[in-house]
Amino acid sequence: MADVQRIFWDAEGYAHTDCLYWEGFPRILWDTLRIYHYPDPPQYKGREFTEVGVPRCRATITITHHPTLEWQSIEIEVVGYRLVDAFEVAALKAITTFCEQHPNAVVAYPIGLFPAVFAHDAEWTFRTTYLRRLVGDIAEETLRAVIRYMNAQYRFQSLKQRCMDDMVNLAQDFHRDLTLKDDQIHSLGQGIAGRDTTIGHLEVQILEGDTQILQRNIVIDFLEEQVHDLNQELGDALGHIEMLQEQQMSPLVLNELEEEEEGSEKEPEEIEGVSEIDSEHGDPEPNPQDDDSSSGSASSVGNLDNF
């Protein structure tokens, strides 16, 4: 951006300049307009932006109304890659448009030799065929103008080549990134394929496990039915055993009750026999040893008194 030194930037990010600070098509255009007494140079407006990852620039050139002649204003919009090359393209198209709109005015000057948009344009063919005045009276001026055109064209081609180099580098970077992403996608695809295979094996194992669980559930249901039947049979057997025990216990209980009744009848008779025997023998006589023991104890007491 060293060529664009005197540029005014507005609040919206647009650059404003007259592009008269380097040799190129903008200066050739202004020198041509000064021949026809334009008071002010054309104004250029441009803004750089990025579109789909590619740096772009949109530029506009405006040539105002002629102050005395009935020449309409010219406004051209172009799209380039940088401000400098976009302004060059805008000036180039402005020169071509000016020559097409005013062929009689430019025929007497070297600018009339400027290439037209269409190579078979009749006006341009006439100007380049009958150029005695250009190679006679103003041959030196014509030669200088042609040299300027060639220099401007060379500069413009250099700018385009620089932009093309940038585009090639950008395309190579994109291609490198895309190749890397393709490799990553391929690796991820292989990983996904491996995971799909693993998932397939796991699904087969899950199906086999479900089948085994179903079979086990069937076996468990069958065993539960058998356990239920066995519990019922066990309950019936226990009930039968209790019934048999009750049947066996009832005779024993009757025998015990009879024995208890017989025993209760015999006990009063034995008590009565004992009382009759006691009444026949009378009261028992006292034991003669009791007196001896009492006398002995008394004598022992007397002996203690002697002490």
CB 58 within 8 A of CB 86: yes
Q: Give tens-digit pLDDT for 125-156.
A: 777 776 766 767 777 777 778 777 877 777 77
Strands 15-17 and 43-51 come out as antiparallel
C-alpha 96/C-alpha 123 separation (Å) is 12
User: Which residue is associated with the tokens 């356990």?
Assistant: 227
Going from N- to C-terminal start, the domains of the chain cover: 8-185
C-alpha pair distances (Å), 116 with each of 13, 92, 167: 34, 10, 28
C-alpha 112/C-alpha 127 separation (Å) is 6
How confident is the model at residue 122, as a pLDDT?
77
CB 111 within 8 A of CB 131: no
CB 62 within 8 A of CB 75: yes
Regions of the chain where pLDDT drops below 70: 1-5, 117, 119, 130, 132-133, 135, 250-254, 257, 262-307
User: Which residue is associated with the tokens 């200066």?
Assistant: 27
C-alpha 307/C-alpha 302 separation (Å) is 9
Q: Give tens-digit pLDDT for 79-99.
A: 888 888 899 999 999 998 998
C-alpha 185/C-alpha 183 separation (Å) is 5
CB 26 within 8 A of CB 19: yes
Hey, how many other C-beta atoms are within 10 angstroms of the C-beta on 8?
A: 9
* pTM for the whole structure: 0.54
Strand order in the sheet with 15-17: 8-9, 15-17, 43-51, 54-63, 74-80
